[in-house]
Chain A
Amino acid sequence: MKHTLSLLVENKPGVLARIAGLFSRRGYNIESLAVNTTESSEISRITLVVDGDEKVLEQITKQLYKLIVVLKVNDFTDVPVVERELALIRVNSDTNNRRAIIDLVEIFRASIVDVSERELIIEITGDSEKIDAFVKNLEPYGIKEMVRTGKIVMPRGMRLNSK
């Protein structure tokens, strides 16, 4: 089962290496990762998606807490959250299909951020499912390149369930 973990860590050099290293040497796989600073410049937030059962998750959480630089580990898996990912997609597009693609972009509330004769670059944000669905719809036109960020999440309403 996939879990979304949200970590607060000290914003210091090498912190990401410590965390990534912990995952790799203990045989856990990171599926998605997003890092940046928070409202405090001394603290960064790392959001990661990992696969594993409850036991694995418990062990991951405990091992993360052993790192001196980790301040907080939240498991947002069963918590209502606002979840976002961003993707930039370079897709084939000529005059024949341009209208159809623009329609798709509107339906998905994506936006076209670059136009040239044979291709478009489209930006889309949303949860992973939305982006997956958009990508699927674009595929027939020929996706030339895609970059996706890691997932970021924020719990809805009041703060919940911190481990």
Chain B
Amino acid sequence: MEMTVAQAIIKFLQEEGVEVIFGYPGGAVIGFYDALYDSSLRHVLVRHEQGAAHAADGYARASGKVGVCVATSGPGATNLVTGLATAFMDSSPVIAITGQVRTNVLGKDSFQEADITGITMPITKHNYLVKDPEKVLTVFKEAFYIATTGRKGPVLIDIPADVFMAKINYSYPSNINLPGYKPTYDPHPLQIKKAINLIKSAEKPVILAGGGVISSNASSELLKLAEKINTPVITTLMGKGAIPEDHHLYCGFLGMHGAAYANFTVNNSDLIIAVGVRFSDRSTGRVDTFAPNAKIIHIDIDPAEIGKNVSASVPIVADAKIALQRLYEEVEEKNNPNWWAQIKEWKEKYPLKYKNSDEVIKPQYVIEKIYEITKGSAIVVTEVGQNQMWAAQFYKVKYPRQFITSGGLGTMGFGLPAAIGAQIANPDKLVIDIAGDGSIQMNIQELATAVCQKLPIKIFILNNSCLGMVRQWQELFYRKRYSCTLFDFAPDFVKLASAYGIYGRRVEKPSEVEDAIYWALEKNDAPTIIDFKVVREENVFPMVPAGGSIDKMMID
């Protein structure tokens, strides 16, 4: 069947199972949007292309499917950059389609030309500039394959405006040929054997679960293994949700603002079974003092992660789900009572805590109440900063893909658009964006998108009138020289809500917190903003100072 490349792309997306794309039109993609006009594909019009990339990313994280975003050439494409970098750092499968100037003016600094493949080379898993209309569909097939297999990640496809309009014969490209790309899924049996021996002789083992567990849907395999060997499970920030956090084997998340007992457990262990983690500096702290007595079994689908930051005794390049299943089948049951006694002591001695107050609202209290009232069932998306860390500490997640946060890049402005993606992926679930008053202003224009799409996202702003996390560092390490972190102006978020025609409420007393949350949960037809005026001086503890050992924490 003959059709334009634009029509063919839309047909391909539908055949590939794509239901929604997030985008913003412009000159170079008019052809694509014209084809979209006749199609049944759902298009979500964002208000800034960064929002499109984050929304596609949030959709991908929440659903496990590919998230697709579209932008025009030049400024449209460059606006995607932060979103793509965010997706890249957290291994999220996103496809970005960008328009490019016409092939006959390409490379001439033409109007709205930017070398987006050059720009995004280091922040995409792969990218393409497709000048030949005949190759577009094959490229799309390859892009989907690359984005969703192995270590997942964003792929960008740049298409000149005239290529969109060229005529081709549609046929679904069933074959792809990528000789340089062969992800390994099955673990090497010898390494599994070595791992089994290490597990057998370990006296203080821990399982460290990261984002890879979630992305390979390996939670039930993880839990089965952990239960069989009765081993504490600690997650990274990205691994939150890999195991239900009310499970008796769960021991918190580790790292800079992780639970003290999690950090102690990891650092005193003699064996770390690390699954789908990349040993980020935020998790390990100072590497040369990280878990000094531990052997490490490192399971990762990306061979380059093994040995990159810490060296592994047993490297297992494999899909987490398959590797965990193998370990489960071959491992013997075991028990580590002394180890558990020690962990229990740490848990009792160093719980996550804060001093509550009757007069001022403590941000941690707000999160605790949100957790209680939603019974731990909501999809929680966060912005970045203190709000993110308190959400991670006090919202106990129960299932994978429930906690969505920018772990690797730490992107302020991620939360609202990612929540839009998450809500679209899960129309029947409660989606909450835990925000800071700084972060929410970074992509606040996406409120309009949420309104148009009738998404009942709850935006809970922990409003401390400052860039809290940076203020905290200045307080602790820069002699309280609060350079540019205390806001002396704030928009009225309640009036802002009303400007967008949605629900808004301000909460200034601890006694009103619960009522306001219940109030927000009742609103099912539009976004709701609650502006919680929280105390400015509150800090996130525990805290491992940057570059310090993870067992040397400032506890409060």
> Which residues of A are at the interface with B, using a C-beta cutoff of 8 A?
9-10, 13-14, 17-18, 21-22, 25, 55, 58-59, 62-63, 65-71
Contact = CB atoms under 8 A, between A and B. Distances in A.
Interface string B264-306: 0000000000000000000000000000000000000011100
A59 B307 contact: yes
B491 interface: no
Given A17-B118, A17-B121, A21-B122, A63 B304 contact: yes
A62 B317 CA distance: 12
Contacts of A21: 121-122
A162 to B, nearest CB: 14
B304 A70 contact: no
A71 B307 CA distance: 22
Contact of A69 (B117, B180, B304): B180
B304 A68 contact: no
Contacts of B118: 14, 17
A66 B146 contact: no
A67 B303 contact: no
A71 B308 contact: no
29 contacts: A9-B180, A10-B180, A13-B129, A14-B117, A14-B121, A14-B129, A17-B118, A17-B121, A18-B121, A21-B122, A22-B122, A25-B122, A58-B307, A59-B307, A59-B308, A62-B303, A62-B308, A65-B303, A66-B304, A67-B180, A68-B125, A68-B146, A68-B178, A68-B180, A68-B181, A69-B180, A70-B180, A71-B179, A71-B180
A68 B121 contact: no
B126 A68 contact: yes
Nearest 10 Cβ contacts at the A-B interface: A62-B304, A68-B126, A71-B180, A68-B181, A62-B303, A70-B180, A63-B304, A68-B180, A25-B122, A21-B121
Nearest to A69: B180
Interface of B: 117-118, 121-122, 125-126, 129, 146, 178-181, 302-304, 307-308
A17 B178 CA distance: 19
Nearest to B304: A62
A79 to B, nearest CB: 22
A10 B125 CA distance: 16
A18 B123 CA distance: 11
Given A14-B117, A17-B118, A59 B180 contact: no
B304 A65 contact: yes
A68 B128 CA distance: 11
A21 B124 CA distance: 13
Contacts of B121: 14, 17-18, 21
Given A68-B180, A71-B179, A59 B126 contact: no
A14 B121 CA distance: 10
A29 to B, nearest CB: 17
Contacts of A55: 307
A44 to B, nearest CB: 12
A14 B125 CA distance: 14
A70 B302 CA distance: 15
A129 B117 CA distance: 40
A53 to B, nearest CB: 12
For B146, B178, B179, which residue has the most chain A Cβ atoms within 10 angstroms?
A: B179
Contacts of B181: 68
Nearest to A72: B180
Nearest to B311: A55
Given A17-B121, A22-B122, A68-B126, 18 more contacts: A9-B180, A10-B179, A10-B180, A14-B118, A17-B118, A21-B121, A55-B307, A59-B308, A62-B308, A66-B302, A66-B304, A67-B180, A68-B125, A68-B178, A68-B181, A69-B180, A70-B180, A71-B180
Nearest to B181: A68
A9 to B, nearest CB: 8
A22 B304 CA distance: 13
Contacts of B302: 66
Contacts of A71: 179-180
Contacts of B125: 68
A21 B117 CA distance: 12
B212 to A, nearest CB: 15
A52 to B, nearest CB: 14
Nearest to A8: B180
Contacts of A9: 180
A22 to B, nearest CB: 8
Contacts of B117: 14
B377 to A, nearest CB: 38
Contacts of A67: 180
Contacts of A62: 303-304, 308
B137 to A, nearest CB: 18
A160 B19 CA distance: 49
A59 B278 CA distance: 14
A72 B393 CA distance: 45
B408 to A, nearest CB: 15
A25 to B, nearest CB: 5
Contacts of B308: 59, 62
Contacts of A14: 117-118, 121, 129
A10 B302 CA distance: 21
A73 to B, nearest CB: 10
A159 to B, nearest CB: 18
Contacts of A17: 118, 121
A58 B180 CA distance: 18
A13 B303 CA distance: 26
Contacts of B307: 55, 58-59
Nearest to A21: B121
